[in-house]
Amino acid sequence: MATVVVIGTQWGDEGKGKVVDLLTARADYVARFQGGNNAGHTLVVAGKKIILHLTPSGILHPDKVCLIGNGVVVDPKVLLEELDRLQAFGVAVAPERLVISAYAHVIMPYHRLLDLAREARKGHSKIGTTGRGIGPCYEDKVARTGVRIHHLLDEASLRRRLEAVLDEKNFLLTHYYRQEPVDLEAVLDEYLGYGRLLAPFVGDVSTCLNRAIAENRAVLFEGAQGTHLDVDHGTYPFVTSSNTVAGNACCGSGIGPTKIGHVVGIMKAYTTRVGGGPFPTELFDTTGEHIRTCGGEFGSTTGRPRRCGWLDLCVVKDAVRLNGLGSLALTKLDVLTGLPVVRIAVGYRCDGAVLDGLPAEMERIERCEPIYEEFPGWEEDLRSVRRFDDLPAPARRYVEAIRDHVGLPFSIISVGPGREETIVVKDPFAS
């Protein structure tokens, strides 16, 4: 079956944008199924960099159809600005190439205000939210008080939704958070304007995808964030507000689980995370600085420096189980070039026991001490390598050790940021 789901195996920022962009060459449709503009995918094409937050990465290919599924929360202002940037980049986005689910929920101004006010109030207990309104929007979705894309196309319907929620939102903003209230008429006017601009793109993503699959068209499902930011299975509460695992490709786009053919797990050759939360292999020395500098480890959405550490295979193996991975894609192997030794965490010691996965309790994770295997580093530049056998011997041993510990083959190995700087071991669509 020609359907592939791309999932991050760590805490996000694994390089999914490049892998999706690469695999899109084999796809006819590319669908985004969760998250919002808290995610950012950085792509480098012909030496030019572009960051996408909501539009699926496949939009850079002129003959592909991109879809934003019902599981995504959409900030319409951000999406329209992104479409303008794509236009300036030379990518024309017509309604035939981008479909937005009418069922996708909309991030409203009060969502962003509440997100920022809550985080500020937490002080030292901050979880590191981007403040984009993602969490409050998902809360309203679950509470059945949210605004969906189709509401933006109908003034009476949008007015009713806003009248139903703004009393409560404004009470919270003014009485608890000491913020200014949101004006109903101003929001109504602004968001109806967004609706008029987005109307040509609004459609039935579920029907579109199921028709494509029935016609045996190749479909790529693009995840945002990473497995260990999943609201159910991640390092709670330091997680995002949606399900980031492969199973949500079905819920967030409107297809059945029998329609998924192959799941690719994206992993960096080291580990990073942004914001708060436990990180057993985090480095605070010059090696961590080397990785951050050489890897350009700064948030594509926030610009925040990412925390960097050695590769943690406990994290990756948990992701294999949670997503039912069929293969792995390794990114940023080139960033480790120049280090005298490289290390991989293959287990933890915690409270006198040896563990091979993350415990559920945050307090226990914070007490975990990594068990490392050490490998010699390499000095050679990897960016021109296109065959696995042409990698320097130490780099090959490092990759082989990952494969052997995880028990899965690699389909892709990235040796640089450019689309062409890639070793394709096996085509996931051929699996």
Residues annotated as catalytic are 13, 41, 141
Find, among 11, 146, 19, the residue nearest to 72 by Cα.
Answer: 146
Which parts are annotated binding residues for substrate? 300-306
User: Across the strands, what pairs with 330?
Assistant: 267, 413
d(CA 77, CA 268) in angstroms, rounded, equals 32
Cα 248 to Cα 32: distance, rounded to the nearest angstrom? 11
In three-state form (DSSP H/G/I as H, E/B as E, the rest C), the secondary structure along the chain is CCEEEEEECCCCCCCHHHHHHHHHCCCCEEEECCECCCCCEEEEECCEEEEECCCCHHHHCCCCEEEECCCEEECHHHHHHHHHHHHHCCCCCCCCCEEEECCCEECCHHHHHHHHHHHHHHHHHCCCCCCCCHHHHHHHHHCCCCCEHHHHHCHHHHHHHHHHHHHHHHHHHHHHCCCCCCCHHHHHHHHHHHHHHHHHHEECHHHHHHHHHHCCCCEEEECCCCHHHCCCCCCCCCCCCCCCCCCHHHHCCCCCHHHCCEEEEEEECCEEECCCCCCCCECCCHHHHHHHHHHCCECCCCCCECEEECEEHHHHHHHHHHHCCCEEEEECHHHHCCCCEEEEEEEEEECCEEECCCCCCHHHHHHCEEEEEEEECCCCCCCCCCCHHHCCHHHHHHHHHHHHHHCCCEEEEECCCCCCCEEECCCHHHC
Q: Give the annotated binding-site residues for Mg(2+).
A: 13, 40
Beta strand 3-8 with 262-268: parallel, antiparallel or unpaired?
parallel
Q: Which residues are documented as binding site?
A: 12-18, 38-42, 130, 144, 225, 240, 300-306, 332-334, 414-416
Binding residues for GTP: 12-18, 40-42, 306, 332-334, 414-416
Instruction: Please enumerate, by residue number, every residue annotated as part of a binding site for IMP.
Output: 13-16, 38-41, 130, 144, 225, 240, 304
